[in-house]
Amino acid sequence: MKKIKSFILIACMIMPVVLMAQPETPVEEWTGRTVLFIGAHPDDDGGSHGTMSMLQANGNEVYVMLLTLGNVGTGDPEMSRFKLAEIRRQEEVDALKELGIPEDHYINLGYTDGMLEFADKEEVVKQIVRWIRKLKPTTMMAFDPGYGYQQWHKADHRSASYLAVDAARAAEWRLVFPGQIVNEGLERHSVTDYLFYSSTGDGDNTTVDISGYAENKVRSLSKYISQFSRSAFNNYVGPNVSDLPGNEGKEFMERMRQRVFERGAVDGKPSESFRYYKGAPDGAGSRRD
Instruction: Please check whether residue 149 lies inside any domain of the structure.
Output: yes
**Cα-Cα-Cα-Cα dihedral sign, residues 164, 165, 166, 167:** positive
Domain assignment of residue 19, yes or no: no
Ordered per-residue pLDDT tens for the chain, 289 residues: 444 444 333 344 333 334 446 799 999 999 999 999 999 999 999 999 999 999 999 999 999 999 999 999 999 999 999 999 999 999 999 999 999 999 999 999 999 999 999 999 999 999 999 999 999 999 999 999 998 777 778 889 999 999 999 999 999 999 999 999 999 999 999 999 999 999 987 789 999 999 999 999 999 999 999 999 999 999 999 999 999 999 999 999 999 999 999 998 999 999 999 999 999 999 888 775 4
Instruction: Please check whether residue 289 lies inside any domain of the structure.
Output: no
Residue 11 lies in a domain: no
Domain count, the chain: 1
Q: Looking at the domain assignment, is residue 177 inside a domain?
A: yes
- CA distance linking residue 20 with residue 183, whole number of Å: 43
Q: How many CB atoms lie within 10 A of CB 52?
A: 28
Are 34 and 56 in contact by the 8 Å Cβ rule? The answer is: no
Q: Are strands 193-197 and 269-278 parallel, antiparallel or unpaired?
A: antiparallel
Range of the domain at 115: 25-283
Question: Is residue 1 in some structural domain?
Answer: no
Give strand pairing partners of 271. 209
Q: What is the helix (H) or strand (E) element at residue 44, kind and residue range?
A: none
SS3 at position 263: helix
**Within a domain: residue 3?**
no
Query: Is the Cβ–Cβ distance between 95 and 39 less than 8 Å?
Result: no
What CATH number corresponds to the domain at position 203?
Answer: 3.40.50.10320
